[in-house]
Structure 1
């Protein structure tokens, strides 16, 4: 079975994943290799083929675009009939729109997974989603965001984490709190800084997407125990999980500037990574995150935009090593069901059923 995994993202010189959605597609491509002949497509300034950590990676040329998450392709190779299955990620993208029309015209199977990115496209304006034969959703929340007419063709397959990359670590740990995410207002890092005050150490690790927000966070962090790890590699992120007492995901629907992010957190991958390592988590009751965190067992849920509630749970965990240890082990055991060794065969089975009907 020949499968195209299509990530509608533009990378200038090399693949440089910005967030969990990008990583999801790459690691899915890697995990599917025992079941399928996979080609992983991204987009860039010129055509290139390479082996990317053992995955056949093809970069297709695009027109220059202001939005790297919605490239305008100069090649349609990603939708080619030589692929038994084309799996496009991001519903709202020109690439997915083109694949939808081409695969429909040639009566070839197409699968779409929406990871919350993309940009302006014809998906909703012309209701192209009606032509997509199958959707795979990474959470119940992400499924609920699909147009009503598409949900009957959707299957929820939760998770996707490389458990071997995030092995269990029993400790010891520092009295510090970690948040791993892109620096964007809807990630709510400002509420974590507020909650920590001057007595709780905070580490914020991620890539700068909104430079103005980063400057405001730096200003808020003055005089506090806040450290930023910007653009660090995966090994540094793993070390931060292993060293920290708690991992926080403080995402919000309404950010500090009044901006609205109704699609916030379709999965919450850092929570799964943290729990795999054995670090308990605290997350806001936003998006899909409550689907993956068992409140009071693997971590705590708190209301969004509520630094007082967040601080209360932080203090509870930081002051109780036994509770942290118990929750950490429970989280590690809990996330096994979301490993790629479980998820990839389920997705491959969806492909096989589609082919059988084609």
Structure 2
């Protein structure tokens, strides 16, 4: 792979998460801070809103990341899909399974898998039947910025593996129900999905 191709690959991370304690965006910002110095071409886009918006922006500023992190606020589903399609990797750092609306990881997770984008997530943000560690994505424990940074680094440093995980994720995405759930196959995945979205 040429240097130019590598620079194109190492373009942007996307996070769709509430800017609230359950979302874990603070953990992601710390992890991104561990990566940023050695990867000047890498950016982070954060979609979501919440009460910690100002504090998280201050956290990014304290880490010297103000020009590298784009806080986009909440976006409607079509814009979330567009953001997933243009990202290099989807990162879901959620520490709790309480989310709603445009901040839910379920839509971006579906779009990322269907688009063969690699996914790094915590177990609470990903359906374990679909995102299997080392097979269709990477799973990291919540509240562990070092583990999160290492997982992202693994995929950035090995684009062939990232591509393979993305393709495996696309095959696994057939297990996910449609957006409205009407055409979903019955089973545990559907029950989990309905439980998560209430």
- The answer (yes or no) to whether the contact 1:186–1:251 under 8 Å persists in 2 is yes
- Report the structure, 1 or 2, having the larger helix content: 2
Residue in 1 that maps onto 2:182: 344
Residue in 1 that maps onto 2:147: 309
Specify the structure having the higher radius of gyration (Cα). Answer: 1
- CA offsets, 1:126-151, max 9 Å, x none? xxxxxxxxxxxxxxxxxxxxxxxxxx
- The answer (yes or no) to whether the contact 1:268–1:289 under 8 Å persists in 2 is no
Aligned residues: 165
Equivalent of 1:209 in 50, 67, 85: 50
Query: Which blocks of at least 5 consecutive residues in structure 1 are unaligned?
Result: 1-171, 254-262, 349-358
Are the structure 2 counterparts of residues 235 and 309 from structure 1 closer, same or farther at C-alpha, using a change threshold of 3 Å?
A: same
Residue in 1 that maps onto 2:122: 284
**Superposition map of 1:59-78 within 5 A:** none
- CA distance in 2: counterparts of 1:176 and 1:346, whole angstroms: 32
Structure 1 residue matching 2:46: 3-state secondary structure: strand
Q: Does 1:194 align with 2:37?
A: no
- CA distance in 1: counterparts of 2:115 and 2:184, whole angstroms: 24
Are the structure 2 counterparts of residues 280 and 218 from structure 1 closer, same or farther at C-alpha, using a change threshold of 3 Å?
A: same
Structure 1 residue matching 2:88: 3-state secondary structure: strand
- The answer (yes or no) to whether the contact 1:246–1:281 under 8 Å persists in 2 is yes
- CA distance in 1: counterparts of 2:58 and 2:45, whole angstroms: 15
Equivalent of 1:231 in 60, 74, 78: 74
1:334 shift after superposition: 0.7
Query: Which blocks of at least 5 consecutive residues in structure 2 are unaligned?
Result: 1-7, 187-198
Higher relative contact order (CA 8 A, sep 6+): 2
- The answer (yes or no) to whether the contact 1:245–1:318 under 8 Å persists in 2 is no
Residue in 1 that maps onto 2:57: 218
- CA distance in 2: counterparts of 1:319 and 1:288, whole angstroms: 23
Equivalent of 2:88 in 237, 245, 248: 245
Are the structure 2 counterparts of residues 341 and 175 from structure 1 closer, same or farther at C-alpha, using a change threshold of 3 Å?
A: closer
RMSD: 2.7
Structure 1 residue matching 2:121: 3-state secondary structure: strand
- The answer (yes or no) to whether the contact 2:22–2:95 under 8 Å persists in 1 is yes
- The answer (yes or no) to whether the contact 1:178–1:246 under 8 Å persists in 2 is yes
Q: Does 1:300 align with 2:138?
A: yes
Are the structure 2 counterparts of residues 314 and 181 from structure 1 closer, same or farther at C-alpha, using a change threshold of 3 Å?
A: same
- CA distance in 1: counterparts of 2:98 and 2:179, whole angstroms: 27
- The answer (yes or no) to whether the contact 1:265–1:288 under 8 Å persists in 2 is no
- CA distance in 2: counterparts of 1:315 and 1:288, whole angstroms: 20
> TM-score if structure 2 supplies the norm length?
0.72
**Superposition map of 1:136-151 within 5 A:** none
- The answer (yes or no) to whether the contact 1:245–1:324 under 8 Å persists in 2 is no
- CA distance in 2: counterparts of 1:193 and 1:177, whole angstroms: 11
Are the structure 2 counterparts of residues 315 and 338 from structure 1 closer, same or farther at C-alpha, using a change threshold of 3 Å?
A: same
1:248 shift after superposition: 1.0
